[in-house]
């Protein structure tokens, strides 16, 4: 339990770009109609959070603001119109919470709902003891997932696991196909697991041998360190690795998960006949590419903003069945170390995704 004796909520707030987070005591806000109060078990630190603080990406909500959108916790209170049976349930909070009622939502385009709420962007997020969020798409955690993971560990399902899961599902990746994962960070390592769980032949690319070792553990059949490699040499090496794995030479499914200019340029350069590229990582940097390659190769490129909340139950089922495991690729830190953790993340010193735990 993280409730303070005086009834106040603890929160660490971003007050200005580049400034240290400030600890604040917040007066509890009761949930409005359609909302729920979550007692936070854990909140993952995402590259997007670091971008808000250090890379000039602006939050939609005004500062000061509590960041953090990878949230798991326990429902403590619900507002009018919300099923009271949720109280006391362990839940994962999807990183993107659509309204569920607009034309886009009703037509199945929930991830681009214009009334969506992203905790830690539109309003206060999970770097706190409690957070109030829309309740419609909260995902109760099944017993099988809690049997193998603590609730704080499952916070990263909100984005780091669900976003590549969405990308792989949209791609139609099937057993025996070739999957290229570019960037084996906090998202990419789960992309490798998910692609491998489909039975695909997985090749992982990164510039860090430590991360490539994690990719091997996560199920990659081959890895390639592309640091200082020319584009033509990367393509040649990837073709050779695919051939050695017995993977198809065409119709590659490429997943850019580094969120860097170099990673995006590398991923695009790997497009071949009938290939598809899923852009999952985010960067503010501009990338120069030849769009004519899409025509020449009959290839496709698409991105996904988070994940449809309706896929979370299936993903948690995969975790409960052991098809995807979270534990090896995260590390726990107390929430009051948030400034040290963000400094480490900003300077590339982390090899695992950090989950900040209140209390």
Are 215 and 192 in contact by the 8 Å Cβ rule? The answer is yes
| pLDDT surpassing 80 at residue 2 | no
Model confidence, pTM: 0.95
What is the mean pLDDT of the segment spanning 34-42?
98
- List of domains in the chain: 9-159+307-357 (3.90.180.10), 162-303 (3.40.50.720)
Q: Please give the radius of gyration of the chain, using alpha carbons only, rounded to the nearest integer.
A: 20
Spatial separation of the C-alpha atoms in residues 178 and 191, rounded to whole Å = 13
Could you report the per-residue pLDDT of 342-356, keeping only the tens digit for each?
A: 999 999 899 899 999
Retrieve residue 67's tokens: 């960041």
Q: Are strands 130-134 and 35-44 parallel, antiparallel or unpaired?
A: antiparallel
Spatial separation of the C-alpha atoms in residues 325 and 329, rounded to whole Å = 9
| pLDDT surpassing 70 at residue 1 | no
Portion of the chain with pLDDT greater than 90, in percent: 96
37, with CB counted inside 10 A (0-12, 13-18, 19+), is buried
Quote the pLDDT of residue 335: 98
Quote the pLDDT of residue 3: 63
102, with CB counted inside 10 A (0-12, 13-18, 19+), is middle
Retrieve residue 319's tokens: 């975790």
Quote the pLDDT of residue 5: 77
Could you report the per-residue pLDDT of 168-191, keeping only the tens digit for each?
A: 999 999 999 999 999 999 999 999
Quote the pLDDT of residue 231: 92
Spatial separation of the C-alpha atoms in residues 46 and 310, rounded to whole Å = 22
Closest CA to 354 of 193, 156, 84, 65: 156
Angle between helices 162-171 and 188-197 (to 10 degrees): 40
| pLDDT surpassing 80 at residue 285 | yes
Spatial separation of the C-alpha atoms in residues 278 and 256, rounded to whole Å = 6
Q: What is the mean pLDDT of the chain?
A: 96
Please state, as a whole number, how many other Cβ atoms lie within 10 Å of the Cβ of residue 85: 10
Spatial separation of the C-alpha atoms in residues 25 and 321, rounded to whole Å = 40
Quote the pLDDT of residue 6: 84
Quote the pLDDT of residue 223: 98
Cis peptide before 64 (omega within 30 of 0): yes
């Amino acid at each position: 339990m993280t409730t303070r004796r005086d009834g106040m909520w603890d929160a660490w707030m971003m007050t200005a770009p580049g400034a240290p987070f400030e600890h604040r005591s917040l007066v509890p806000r009761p949930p409005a109609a359609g909302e729920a109060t979550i007692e936070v078990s854990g909140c993952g630190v995402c590259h997007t959070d670091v971008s808000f603080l250090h890379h000039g990406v602006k939050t939609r909500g005004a500062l000061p603001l509590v960041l953090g959108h990878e949230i798991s916790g326990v429902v403590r209170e619900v507002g009018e119109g919300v099923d009271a049976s949720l109280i006391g349930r362990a839940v994962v909070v999807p990183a993107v919470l659509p309204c569920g009622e607009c034309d886009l939502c009703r037509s199945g385009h929930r991830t681009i709902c214009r009334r969506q709420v992203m905790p830690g962007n539109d309003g206060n997020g999970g770097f706190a003891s409690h957070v109030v969020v829309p309740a419609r798409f909260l995902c109760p955690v099944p017993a099988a997932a809690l049997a193998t993971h603590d609730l704080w560990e499952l916070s990263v399902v909100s984005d780091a696991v669900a976003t590549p899961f969405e990308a792989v599902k949209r791609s139609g990746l099937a057993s025996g196909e070739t999957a290229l994962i570019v960037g084996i960070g906090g998202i990419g390592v789960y992309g490798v697991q998910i692609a491998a769980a489909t039975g695909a032949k997985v090749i992982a690319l990164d510039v860090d041998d430590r991360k490539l070792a994690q990719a091997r553990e996560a199920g990659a059949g081959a890895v390639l360190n592309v640091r200082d490699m020319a584009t033509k040499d990367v393509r040649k090496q990837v073709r050779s690795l695919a051939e050695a794995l017995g993977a198809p030479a065409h119709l590659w499914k490429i997943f850019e998960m580094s969120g860097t200019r170099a990673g995006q340029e590398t991923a695009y350069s790997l497009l071949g006949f009938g290939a598809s590229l899923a852009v999952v990582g985010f960067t503010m940097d501009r990338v120069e590419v030849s769009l004519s390659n899409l025509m020449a190769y009959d290839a496709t490129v698409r991105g996904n903003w988070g994940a449809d909340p309706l896929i979370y139950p299936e993903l948690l089922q995969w975790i409960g069945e052991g098809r995807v495991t979270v534990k090896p690729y995260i590390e726990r830190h107390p929430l009051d170390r948030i400034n040290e953790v963000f400094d480490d993340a900003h300077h590339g010193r982390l090899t695992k995704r950090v989950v900040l735990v209140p209390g």
